[in-house]
Amino acid sequence: MSFETAKDQYKSFNVDVEQALKITAETPISIQCWQGDDVTGFDNGCAGGGIQATGSYPGRARNFDELKADFLKACSYIPGKKRINLHASYAVLADGKTIDRDAIEFKHFSPWVDFARETGIGIDFNPTCFGHSKVKDGLTLSSPDNKTQRFWIEHCKHCRRIADEIGAALNDKVLNNIWIPDGLKDIPADRKGPRERLKNALDEIFSEQLENVIDCVESKVFGIGLESYTAGSNEFYLSYCASKKNVYPLLDNGHFHPTENVADKISAFALFFDYLPFHITRPMRWDSDHVTLFNDELKELFTEIVISGALPKAKIGLDFFDASINRIAAWIIGTRSAQKALLYALLLPDLSELQNSGDFTQLMVLQEDAKLMPFAEVWDEYLKRQNVRQKWYNEIKQYEKEILKVRT
């Protein structure tokens, strides 16, 4: 089937294919830098707080130049607008230099800004409140130890300022997302205390007004070693954001109970918040951060973003890290899957009037018919217009042979 024939079929559903292609191309996806090096970073930290990249595939990026090169290689096979999502642990330091996280500055990220200017991509940012010796008893911002809490408050304050300077340098607002691993392995004696300390810490962190930052906080239902209690739960952060003017809840679809439908939350959030930030992943039994695939859960997430009118508010980021497969291929597969899901959602017909009129039989019929529309032909046309190849694996294998396998 040709693209023009597919386009005519969608037209019979009153779907504007050209508009769907245009919106998909113009919607940026924030691609996580940490897929390229297994969340190792450049500041001698390590994954932790329930974060673990499993596998030992050869060729992990070991420094700034290698991570940049791998990221650009992946981007050459990824259509549409792109951003790079940085963690504070990816500060670029001079050889042999070290600096602790409560003292990082914009200058340590200016090489990333130069990279963004050269490539035309945007930047998003995250404090790195894990994988550090000053995570005491699994706690950071909610710690009862004043010295520990103060260290992480200062780290988050520095990160917001860095994000603001990045935004000013690029003339582009930067999403700055705070996630902490804080929680308890077993039954708490005090649930309120950690959350009260977390609230007070956040109040101080967000007290400085910064015009180039979009602030958000990321909830989680539990983590490894934190199975019984998480201070930064969805209820806590949603309540916190509702009480503030310019702090937004970030939805990570791997951070909820497996029986929760994250897509169902989107329309509720969209009614009350100016921005809807996302970390999109593929959970498998738990927050396992598998590479995002074009599956039913991903389709439903993007469908809800689109049909609830939330796309203009959405800040779409990815969050997966797989060390068992080629890391560049993981970036390509995962980001293309997100764009497929977005395009798929934009090509769905508007059937809301059938629901409103109570015609649920015809609604079901057309919902089923829509599943068999010629989406593949439209996706291929999208890749063609974006000058991105459909087939890319052999070239990545060649890059692996020439570049990745020589890394030790």
The CATH number assigned to the domain holding 207 equals 3.20.20.150
Q: Given the residues 252, 300, 304, 400, select the one marked as catalytic.
A: 252
Annotated catalytic residue 279: yes
Which residues are bridge partners to 288 per DSSP?
A: none
Annotated catalytic residue 290: no
pLDDT band at residue 321 using 50, 70 and 90 as cut-offs? very high
Residue 59 CB neighbours (<10 A): 20
Three-class DSSP category at 306: helix
Q: In the predicted model, is pLDDT for residue 47 greater than 70?
A: no
Domain contains 131: yes
Annotated catalytic residue 289: yes
Annotated catalytic residue 369: no
Q: Given the residues 43, 287, 304, 400, select the one marked as catalytic.
A: 287
pLDDT in tens, 216-261: 999 999 888 889 999 999 999 999 999 999 999 999 999 999 889 9
Full domain range(s) for residue 63: 3-403
- Cα end-to-end span (Å), the chain: 47
Cα separation, 231 vs 254, in Å, equals: 17
pLDDT at 48: 63
Q: Given the residues 38, 165, 182, 289, select the one marked as catalytic.
A: 289
Q: Given the residues 38, 165, 319, 322, select the one marked as catalytic.
A: 319
Annotated catalytic residue 319: yes
pLDDT at 50: 64
Q: Which two tokens stand for residue 210?
A: 């910064």
pLDDT at 286: 82
pLDDT in tens, 189-204: 999 999 999 999 999 9
Q: In the predicted model, is pLDDT for residue 112 greater than 70?
A: yes
Answer positive or negative: Cα dihedral of 398, 402, 404, 408.
positive
Domain contains 318: yes
Domain contains 408: no
pLDDT at 391: 92
How confident is the model over 19-47, as a mean pLDDT?
92
Least confidently predicted of 48-52, 158-162, 250-254: 48-52
Q: What is the mean pLDDT of the chain?
A: 95
pLDDT at 140: 97
Cα separation, 167 vs 161, in Å, equals: 10
Annotated catalytic residue 137: no
Domain contains 189: yes
Q: Which residues contact 235 (CB under 8 A, 6 or more apart)?
A: none
pLDDT in tens, 68-87: 999 999 999 999 999 999 99
Q: In the predicted model, is pLDDT for residue 45 greater than 70?
A: no
Residue 9 · residue 373 · CB < 8 Å: yes
Domain contains 305: yes
Domain contains 45: yes
Domain contains 55: yes
pLDDT band at residue 46 using 50, 70 and 90 as cut-offs? low
pLDDT at 1: 79
Report long-range pairs for 188-192 (Cβ below 8 Å, ≥24 apart). 188/228, 188/229, 191/229
Q: Given the residues 218, 304, 322, 400, select the one marked as catalytic.
A: 218
Q: Please report which residue ranges of 309-386 form alpha helices under DSSP H.
A: 327-346, 352-356, 360-370, 375-385
Instruction: Count up the domains in the chain and report the number.
Output: 1
pLDDT at 223: 83
pLDDT at 98: 84
pLDDT in tens, 266-318: 999 999 999 999 999 999 988 889 999 999 999 999 999 999 999 999 999 99
Domain contains 329: yes
Q: Given the residues 173, 279, 315, 340, select the one marked as catalytic.
A: 279
Q: Which residues contact 212 (CB under 8 A, 6 or more apart)?
A: 163, 164, 165, 166, 167, 168, 172, 173, 174
Q: Given the residues 34, 179, 331, 379, select the one marked as catalytic.
A: 179
Annotated catalytic residue 379: no
pLDDT band at residue 49 using 50, 70 and 90 as cut-offs? low
